[in-house]
Amino acid sequence: MLPPDEIIARIKKALVHGGETHTWEDIRTGVIEGHFQIFWNEHGACVTQICTPPQKRYLNCLIVAGELPGVMDLSQEVEDFGRSTGCQFLTTSARMGWRKVLPNYGWKESQVVFTKGLD
């Protein structure tokens, strides 16, 4: 079982892997202000954000951090939340290792994300 401090540490690590677009404080503030949602259990956490472009509403899983497969036990709660808020689908961007894991939970690869630094 992961203690809360370890879950936060893993979220921070995932934020680094995700390109450092957010800090833990950004996530914490976003949850408090209602911009993000956080789901957790004794194995990890999932941070989500409702996205509302003009045509469809969807739930983006911004961060998934913790121990597998326990952290994936959050899937049903996250999916139920998405449905209850009118979202039509889930999205996530993830490290390549997730390619082996996510299809086991019903996820399908729909696109590839490329990045290029502008430094």
Residue 95 pLDDT greater than 90, yes or no: no
Residue 114 pLDDT greater than 90, yes or no: no
Residue 85 pLDDT greater than 90, yes or no: yes
* 53: CATH: 3.40.630.30
Listed residue (66, 65, 67, 61) closest to 107, CA to CA: 61
Residue 111 falls within a domain, yes or no? no
Residue 33 falls within a domain, yes or no? yes
Tally of domains in the chain: 1
* Contact indicator for 39, 74 with CB cutoff of 8 Å: yes
For residue 67, give its domain range.
Answer: 4-105
β-strand partners of 14:
none
Q: Per-residue pLDDT averaged across 77-90, rounded?
A: 98
* 33-56 tens-digit pLDDT: 999 999 999 999 999 999 999 999
Give the Cβ contact number of residue 49 at 10 Å: 16
Local confidence band at 61 (pLDDT 50, 70, 90 cut-offs): very high
Residue 110 falls within a domain, yes or no? no
For strands 44-51 and 89-92, give the pairing. unpaired
